[in-house]
Amino acid sequence: MSLRLPAFPYNGAKVKKFGFYAPKTANIDKVNGGRRTKTLTSSFSLNAGSSSEIDSFTWETVLGGGVFVEFNKVYCARGYLYLQVIVDGNVEGEVAIPTSQSTIRVVIPNGKVGYGSYTISVKVVNKGSDSDTLYVDETNGSLLEIIYGLIIDQTSETTIASLSLPSYTLIDQGNGDFKYEVGVYVKAQAIRRTTTNANMNSDKIKIKVFNNDYSTILSTTDIPSGNDTSEINIHLAFKYPSNGILNLTGWVGATGDIVIITHLYYQITLIANQSTAHMTIWNLVSLVKGVHYIKARVVAFTGLQTKVEVGTDDDKLEARIMVYNGSYSSEAVTYLSMPNMSQLYVYAGLSVELKGMISFLDVIVVE
């Protein structure tokens, strides 16, 4: 897709062009995790050597990850019972069910689930020589919770995932008069299980994004403590890595804290360059004086409204063009002509949470 100039005589006028074209990836979930729950209200017995499956599901993912399982208000009579987490038929984690009412937890680390489709099963198994009974809260229920995704549970910095980014196309014929930064926006969704407050950092986890050799921190963010039943949103923005590969690292503040990233999306786009004048929010600044013809496509992570704004040289956001309103898997394209001006600013989005991302931008300026 490219922009064609309207038919009019040039009369020797100079033409400068800027073009940016990136694949649309904002709707591709690289983790595809989630949260499942099941409430048990009936106790049951198991003979020696037998088992009972409580839940089972299929997880299809690109980056893979791990599995967090928690079972509350349970106990057994004789100490023969175990809670097992099974991945594609292999027992990857288990914990003994105590003989007094407790909350038990099994964490399967990242790496046990990789690219592809996996069957996850949670069972109660009797490993003893005689029958045993699993007791649950028959009045209020005992909750089995399964959260699957990228696990962050180490107090030292640990690599969470590595991503190979697609390439993009950039055309800059402005001789330095177009100011921009090619970057990446990342949206992650996560569920927190922070259990301790042992030191000043225990109420937070951190996520960092590095270039491939880990020599440059591209972005970092703190995530406050919490105990979620639904996912929180995490947003990162950083310059496109020179080799097209980014690494995410993370750590928790105290032993026992855990955060599971259930969804991870990214989009290559033009980001605001904090070090350039007028670019604390603007995605593109044109310093070319002339008539500007613009064609833009924006995508978004959310299903909410976003827009492209065009400001004039007085930087008052006087020209607003709404070009997108719908599902994040959709896209919108607009064409506009701006009159003769000395500067032009282009911005996509409503806020950090409702970030619009430019995946296609053509700017032609007739001086």
d(CA 31, CA 26): 13
With 80 as the cut, is the pLDDT of residue 226 above it? no
d(CA 41, CA 143): 9
Task: Give the confidence band of 215 by pLDDT, cuts at 50, 70, 90.
Answer: very low
Task: Give the confidence band of 306 by pLDDT, cuts at 50, 70, 90.
Answer: low
Looking at residue 304, its pLDDT comes to: 52
- Tell me which of 327 and 20 has the higher pLDDT: 20
Residue with tokens 């310059």: 239
* 76 and 207 inside one domain: no
Q: What CA–CA distances, in Å, run from 96 to 18, 99, 128?
A: 63, 9, 11
Residue 95, domain member (yes or no): yes
* 206 and 63 inside one domain: no
Quick one: which of 180, 182, 181, 183 has its CA closest to 288? Answer: 180
**What is the value of pTM for the model shown?**
0.83
Looking at residue 356, its pLDDT comes to: 64
Residue range 285-298: mean pLDDT, rounded: 79
d(CA 267, CA 277): 24
Last residue of a domain, one of 140, 174, 196: 140
Express as a percent the part of the chain with pLDDT over 90.
34
d(CA 360, CA 334): 10
Average pLDDT of the residues of the chain: 78
* 228 and 344 inside one domain: yes
- Which range of residues forms the domain containing residue 76? 42-140
For 76-110, what is each residue's pLDDT tens digit? 999 999 999 999 999 999 999 999 999 999 999 99
Residue range 350-359: mean pLDDT, rounded: 60
For 117-175, what is each residue's pLDDT tens digit? 999 999 999 999 999 999 999 999 999 999 999 998 888 878 888 888 899 999 999 88
- Tell me which of 311 and 8 has the higher pLDDT: 311
Residue 34, domain member (yes or no): no
- The number of folded domains in the chain is 2
Residue 6, domain member (yes or no): no
d(CA 147, CA 151): 9
Residue 281 · residue 300 · CB < 8 Å: no
Looking at residue 162, its pLDDT comes to: 82
* 25 and 89 inside one domain: no
Is 342 exposed, middle or buried, given 0-12, 13-18 or 19+ CB atoms closer than 10 A? Answer: exposed
Looking at residue 164, its pLDDT comes to: 87
With 70 as the cut, is the pLDDT of residue 311 above it? no
Task: Give the confidence band of 337 by pLDDT, cuts at 50, 70, 90.
Answer: low
Cα angle, residue 301 at apex, residues 296 and 303 outer, rounded to 5°: 95
Residue range 344-364: mean pLDDT, rounded: 66
Beta bridge partners of 61: 116
Is 25 exposed, middle or buried, given 0-12, 13-18 or 19+ CB atoms closer than 10 A? Answer: middle
- Tell me which of 97 and 255 has the higher pLDDT: 97
d(CA 185, CA 267): 5
- Tell me which of 102 and 246 has the higher pLDDT: 102
Residue 76, domain member (yes or no): yes
* 20 and 52 inside one domain: no
* 298 and 254 inside one domain: yes
Of 74-88, 106-120, 245-259, 293-307, give the lowest mean pLDDT range: 293-307
Q: What CA–CA distances, in Å, run from 138 to 37, 52, 131, 142?
A: 17, 18, 20, 8
* 136 and 205 inside one domain: no
d(CA 62, CA 32): 8
For 256-286, what is each residue's pLDDT tens digit? 888 899 998 888 888 765 555 554 567 788 8
* 47 and 106 inside one domain: yes
Residue 360, domain member (yes or no): yes
Residue 360 · residue 296 · CB < 8 Å: yes
Longest dimension (CA), the chain: 96
For 170-210, what is each residue's pLDDT tens digit? 999 988 888 888 888 888 888 888 754 322 222 334 454 54
d(CA 251, CA 161): 13
